[in-house]
Chains A and B, each alone.
Chain A
Amino acid sequence: MKTEIKKVSMKMLKPEDVVREYIDAKDRHDWDALVKLLDPDYVSSDPSVPEPVKGIEPVRQYLDMLNGVEMKTKILSMMSKDDTVAAELEVSCLVKDKGEFEGHTVLPHAFKITFAKFYRVNSKGLLAEEREYSDTATKMRALGMRS
């Protein structure tokens, strides 16, 4: 019996490209594109959230919360070593409608915040971990809230 081995051509993105696509999908609020880039066991940590967030569903909830916010991320610098990517990001946000964030009223306004992130992309080419370095007080002020 002759067995035919089909070569499957799978183009694996480089870790930096995975992160760029992830940032872009987030800016577009494109959940379908975003979820394809995330490992099911994805973990995210952010100083404004007490415990690391695990799994994909919280990301969907976070994106839903940002529905009324236009976002544009400028990559100030990005570099990588093996599976780890470091980036300095400046995010310009436009809050279009009056809304609520962590129990505070947020009025329509525009603001910019700068922070750094470390990402880990696993051997499957999926984003497995994201660690944010930012100042909660600065974020709260940008949102028009007291910290």
Chain B
Amino acid sequence: MDQANNSKVLEVVRKFFEAGNKQDIETLASLVAPNLIVNNPLFGQGNVVTREVFKSSLDNILQAFPDLNMHVVNMITQGNTVVTEELETATLSANGRSYKMPVCVVMRVNDQGQIYETHNYWDTRTLFDQLQIDLDTYSKILREEK
């Protein structure tokens, strides 16, 4: 993949983080493929998520963490892949506790300029210790944010 395509791929991922920080769910959804492959330590590997489910999950997350911010520290791209190192901060509305956590996000972009796979690397213990909750409580909060 040439320099121009690298820039295009990088631009898609930059827009994703910008939209995330503006809590712009419609733009976020427009940047992902209709069937997004999601990998993260909470929900496991290789989950295929439709755009509607993606929007609904984001809505729940942003209601639970209304001030979610992803501060991008590093962004490196090669081919169709972008690896982002970011410092994430947010407050859990349910108990008012905040977290600050480094996160690595790997995103892969298809020829249509849509993110088709995301792999989030972060530590659940770092999150839950700061929020003073456990996995069951966290899952319950996200389910209730409808």
Contacts and interface: CB of A to CB of B under 8 A. Distances in A.
A79 B121 contact: no
Interface stretch (B22-30, B51-59, B78-86, B92-100): B78-86
B106 interface: yes
A80 interface: yes
A104 to B, nearest CB: 15
A58 to B, nearest CB: 20
B74 A84 contact: yes
Please classify how large the interface on chain A is, using the bins under 10, 10 to 19, 20 to 34, 35 or more: 20 to 34
Interface stretch (A3-11, A23-31, A65-73, A130-138): A130-138
Nearest to A118: B85
Question: What's the dominant secondary structure at chain B's contact region?
Answer: strand
Interface residues of B, number: 19
Contacts of A47: 122-123, 125-126
Nearest to A84: B74
B103 interface: yes
Interface string A81-105: 1001010100000000000000000
10 closest A-B pairs by CB: A47-B123, A79-B78, A133-B121, A133-B104, A135-B41, A86-B83, A116-B104, A116-B121, A136-B125, A81-B76
29 contacts: A47-B123, A77-B83, A79-B77, A79-B83, A81-B74, A86-B74, A86-B76, A86-B83, A116-B104, A116-B106, A118-B74, A118-B85, A118-B104, A131-B85, A131-B102, A133-B102, A133-B122, A133-B123, A134-B123, A135-B41, A135-B121, A135-B123, A135-B125, A136-B123, A136-B125, A136-B126, A137-B123, A137-B125, A138-B124
Interface of B: 41, 74, 76-78, 81, 83, 85, 102-104, 106, 119, 121-126
